[in-house]
């Protein structure tokens, strides 16, 4: 574990795709119990940044460390909830089996789950209040329930860092509130980075906000300057700010 309490350190990160810059000079430090939201327009590089942190793609330039290690070495410390699950909702797989899959990063594809793995999966289901649904087929659940199951799958790996890519998409307002309340509890045990397009929702619940559109605008707080948002979204502030709590736009 990094003795400086740093979960993620990104230094001068650039990423190009077919010669086009997707990320430009991104610098970011996330502490061990931070609850950070990364907002920004579609196509601004948010999902790409998560993949860089996960080590799924290598930056064109710059360095990435996760708990003081390379992303590949630190992968067992990372839980990830992708934007779209690859699970076929018609496939006859139970909630319990989906959550157990979160242990695969530890045991490998060809090994069997042991009692410790099963206990972690049960604990994860209890944390997200889905234990009573463990024998249900995954496709029979509502969108909000499935999202809790996918979070439980990530938690089964006992992560110290949880990355979530648009996790509340398609979830109704009431379930969104419950979802963010769950994340607020989880931050006591881990760092959380959530990618979202819903500025008004995340600004109420998270501790810190960054804005990304190739370049990252971040002040290590919940505050974003009007000029940061205008630069990132390339729209006048009165259009961007609709529904954003005023404190997020505090002027220094």
Residue 36 lies in a domain: yes
- Name the pairing type of β-strands 215-218 and 208-213: antiparallel
Query: Is residue 115 in some structural domain?
Result: no
Report helix, strand and coil shares of the chain as percent, to nearest 5: 35, 25, 40
- pLDDT of 111: 63
147-193 pLDDT per residue, tens: 889 999 999 989 999 999 988 666 666 777 888 888 988 999 999 99
For the cut 90, the answer to whether the pLDDT of residue 231 exceeds it is no
**Is residue 104 assigned to a domain?**
no
Segment (H or E) for 44: none
| pLDDT on residue 77 | 94
Dig out the tokens for 160 from the structure.
């110290």
Give the pLDDT band of residue 42 (cuts 50, 70, 90).
confident
Give the other-Cβ count within 10 Å of 115's Cβ. 7
- CATH code of the domain covering residue 215: 3.40.50.300
Question: Is the residue at 40 inside a domain?
Answer: yes
**Would you say residue 100 lies in a domain?**
no
The boundaries of the domain holding residue 61 are: 6-84+159-249
Domain count, the chain: 1
Over range 94-121, report the average pLDDT: 80
């Amino acid at each position: 574990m990094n003795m400086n309490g740093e979960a993620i350190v990104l230094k001068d990160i650039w990423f190009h795709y077919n010669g086009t810059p997707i990320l430009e000079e991104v610098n970011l430090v996330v502490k061990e119990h931070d609850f950070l939201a990364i907002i920004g327009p579609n196509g601004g590089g948010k999902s790409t940044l998560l993949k860089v942190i996960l080590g799924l793609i290598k930056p064109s330039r710059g360095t990435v460390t996760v708990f003081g290690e390379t992303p590949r070495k630190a992968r067992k410390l990372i839980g990830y909830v992708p934007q779209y699950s690859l699970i076929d909702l018609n496939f006859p797989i139970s909630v319990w089996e989906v959550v157990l899959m979160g242990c695969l990063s530890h045991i490998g594809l060809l090994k069997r789950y042991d009692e410790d793995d099963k206990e972690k999966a049960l604990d994860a289901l209890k944390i997200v209040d889905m234990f009573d649904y463990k024998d249900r087929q995954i496709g029979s659940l509502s969108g909000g329930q499935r999202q809790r199951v996918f979070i439980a799958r990530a938690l089964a790996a006992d992560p110290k860092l949880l990355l979530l890519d648009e996790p509340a998409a398609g979830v109704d307002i009431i379930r969104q509130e419950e979802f963010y309340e769950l994340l607020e509890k989880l931050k006591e045990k881990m760092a959380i980075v959530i990618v979202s397009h819903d500025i008004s929702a995340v600004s109420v619940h998270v501790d810190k906000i960054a804005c990304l559109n190739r370049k990252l605008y971040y002040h290590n707080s919940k505050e974003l300057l009007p000029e940061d948002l205008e630069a990132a979204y390339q729209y006048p502030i009165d259009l961007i700010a609709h529904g954003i709590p005023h404190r997020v736009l505090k002027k220094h």
